[in-house]
Amino acid sequence: MEPVEYLEELPETDEPAWILGRQHHLKTEKPKLLSDISARLWFTYRRKFSPIGGTGPSSDAGWGCMLRCGQMMLAQALICCHLGRDWHWEEYKKQPEEYHRILHCFLDRKDCCYSIHQMAQMGVGEGKSIGEWFGPNTVAQVLKKLALFDEWNSLAVYVSMDNTVVIEDIKYLCSLYTGNELIYLDPHTTQVFVDSEDDGTVDDRSFHCQQAPHRMKIMNLDPSVALGFFCKEEKDFDNWCSLVQKEIHKQQSLRMFELVQKHPPHWPPFIPPTKPEVTTTGAELIESTDKLFELEEEFEILSV
């Protein structure tokens, strides 16, 4: 299918569309825009996977949307880390080994580190029953804890408290927008569970959105959101801090979050997360997370 066949829903406008920091001109670069969108890993509801916890649900339809959004956010970070921002996916084209390793991290199996099984069961330690809807903060806390067991990527995941990003804490830890609209990938589509083949390959066509992207007015966005930023090196983080201070904080009277240099003295001490002492991995580990981890603070809800 040619891109022009399913791009007619995008508006004819002189305003650029921004996809993860890249600018596209809608009048002249629609195929390029769609190619950029289809390269993102798209995680949606799935059905017919193995029951979570052995006896739990075999579909996340109706409750797993926020978990899928968290998977998409983290998957994009891994793509930037291993493949770079310029990498693009093409159907039936041979992809690098790193791509397949990333995709395997999110398959709907209990032995995959960021699977719906691991996230749902890790959520029990956050006070969420399996099959219960997660908020953005709960998803962020769950991913932070699961990352401790991801030896391949060695991610340092920082979750802000009270809508405040503390620069020194992050440095210690680490020693889609167009006009007034947002372009987004919607997880509220139920697809059949996809497993890897005997040779380890995965039919990845359903993990990439090859249709007109969803759009919404930015004022219709739910204010309860989690923003994710990936910084590969310290200089990337320094550049991000400068950009936030220059472009966001100086131009907005009502800020989504604060950026401070030092750890606020009235906060509890910053303690980087550490991997618990365990003798097993997989479902057995997740079942005991209520004893391994402390509950985290929820994000502050701002009223406008």
Return the active site residues. 65, 186, 188
3-state secondary structure 286-304: HHCHHHHCCCCCCCCCCCC
Cα-Cα-Cα-Cα dihedral sign, residues 214, 216, 221, 222: negative
Q: How far apart are CA 138 and CA 119, in angstroms?
A: 10
**In angstroms, how far is CA 241 from the centroid of its own chain?**
20
CB 250 within 8 A of CB 88: no
Phi first, then psi: give them for residue 20, nearest 5 degrees: 50, 50
**Joined tokens for residue 251:** 């131009």
Quote the crossing angle between the two packed helices 97-104 and 65-82, to the nearest 10°.
160
- CB of 267 closer than 8 Å to CB of 161: yes
**CA 228 – CA 116 distance, rounded (Å):** 19
